[in-house]
Structure 1
Amino acid sequence: MKNKIKSLLKTYFITGLLVLLPLALTFWILNALLRNMEALIGDPIQQYLEIYIPGMGIMLLICLILLVGIFARNLIGRKLGHLGEMILNKIPLVRNIYTSIKQLINTLFLQGKDNFRGVVMVEYPRLGTYSLGFITGESRGEVQRITNEIIVNVFIPTTPNPTSGFLLLFPEKDIIHLHMTVEEGLKMIISGGMITPPDREVALPPGSKR
């Protein structure tokens, strides 16, 4: 009886940690980021303005980001941005860091939703072993003519950097389509499988339609 109670308390304690730790870490990280941004921008403002409202630094940072975005969308901004990238790409260490971060951000915010058409599971690199991949389209022309069947292009990213990977061509019959979104698939790959999306089929109530 004592062992059962001890085991039950241990289970409850671990469950509580699993619930509270992600929340605590999320708020801690957000709080640290906001404080740093406020200190970085707010302190110089306080030196020049007699009136200062808490949070003004963050608001100015948001406005600055919006202005940079507007400027980067016009012709002059694009040319200056291209020139800046050319300069950064000539600096060895900076080039590697900048390129990796840019590719990762583009994958998460741009490419994932626009270029990937769905998340699939394929047997790779051998039978009985499955890999997560993204459909990028159907192979046409010579590939389709030689194989004489529908061939699907599947991009299999590497972990934790999904900007690199392998392009594999699979017959459509060998592909297992998943219900998770592209964003969920990317999160699963980047986290190394630690973040797994819920099974939507199980979560649906009886009699409901997708």
Structure 2
Amino acid sequence: MKQLQKIFLQGLVTFLPVALTIYIVYAGIAIVDSFLGDTLREILPIYIPGLGFLLTVLLIFLLGLLLNNLITVGIFQKLEQKITQIPLIKAVYSPLRDLMNLFSKGGGPSGLQKVVLVDMGETGVRAMGLVTRESFSDVPGIETHAHATDSVSVYIPMSYGLGGFTLLVPRNRITPVDIPIEKAMSLAITGWVKADKAGGNHHG
């Protein structure tokens, strides 16, 4: 009976990541496809599944090309300034824009993004995080703080979730870690659990 349970668990450990990956990719494609797909279904006599997804990807690519043009960039920036003057839209749009910039440009406005270990004090406990900024000149009240000029903001991701928290940490309490950001995020989100080749798990 124990042998059957072991075989089943080995199969389950192999099956679940594959099944969930396929489901997430399929769900993502379906969501993107629905952006233009619902409209195309009403316009076109025959709708080919996936057409909305392809057109959405093409639209994003064309937008990227336009943003590489100095004239269209200027127009977009002026439009963005007008949009962000609306309180409700600013509250939603600005954080999402900053988040996308963080991961698309390798850091915040100044190109910062590095993995560090944060010394949590006399306990000897350290937490792995991501430096998101080193300047607070654009944050009223923070830049005048006694330790603000000698601190950085560090995002600490939570394991097995999509959340996290941000700390203002003195520079002398962080230690840079020379690992890729993607690897650090993967370790943090999975709680540093690593599956070995035999199908078991160990902490690494």
Name 2:120's counterpart in structure 1.
124
> Secondary structure at the residue paired with 1:170?
helix
1:106, CA displacement in angstroms? 1.7
1:184 and 1:197 in contact (8 A); partners too: no
The AA in structure 2 aligned to 1:34 is: I
Retained in 1: the 8 A contact 2:151–2:171?
Answer: yes
Q: What amino acid is the match of 1:123?
A: D
**Correspondence list, 1:96-111, <5 A:** 96-111=91-106
For residues 45-72 of structure 1, give each alpha carbon's deviation from its aligned partner in whole angstroms, at most 9, with x where no partner exists.
4555567654333222222111111112
Aligned to 1:22: 17
Would you say how many aligned residue pairs link Structure 1 and Structure 2? 175
Code of the aligned partner of 2:126: Y
Distance 2:68 2:186 in 1: 28
- One-letter code aligned to 1:115: L
Three-state SS of the structure 1 residue aligned to 2:172 is strand
Alignment match, 1:115: 112
Aligned: 1:169 with 2:171:
yes
Equivalent position to 1:85, from 67, 80, 97: 80
Give the partner amino acid of 2:115.
V
Residue-by-residue CA offset, 1:12-60 (whole Å, 9 max, x unaligned): 5444434322322221122123234334424544555567654333222
- Give yes or no for contact 2:152–2:170 (8 Å, CA) kept in 1: yes
Q: CA 1:169/1:35 → structure 2, altered by over 3 Å: closer, same or farther? A: closer
Mapped contact 2:129–2:156 kept (Cα < 8 A): no
TM-score, normalised to structure 2's length?
A: 0.62
Structure 1: 5+ residue stretches without partners: 137-151, 204-210
Cα pair 2:128 2:156 within 8 Å, conserved: no
Q: Which residue of 2 aligns with 1:156?
A: 154
Q: Percent identity?
A: 26
Counterpart in 1 of 2:68?
A: 73
What's the counterpart of residue 36 of structure 2?
41
* TM-score of the aligned structures, taking structure 1 as reference length: 0.61
For residue 128 of structure 1, what is the amino acid of its counterpart? G
Partner of 1:94: 89
SS at 1:115's partner residue?
Answer: coil
- C-alpha distance after superposition, 1:141-166 (max 9, x if no partner): xxxxxxxxxxx98652143357x542
Unaligned runs of 5+ in 2: 133-149, 158-162, 198-204
RMSD between aligned alpha carbons? 4.0
Higher Rg: 1
Question: For residues 193 and 73 of structure 2, what CA distance do their matches in structure 1 show?
Answer: 37
AA aligned opposite 1:120: V
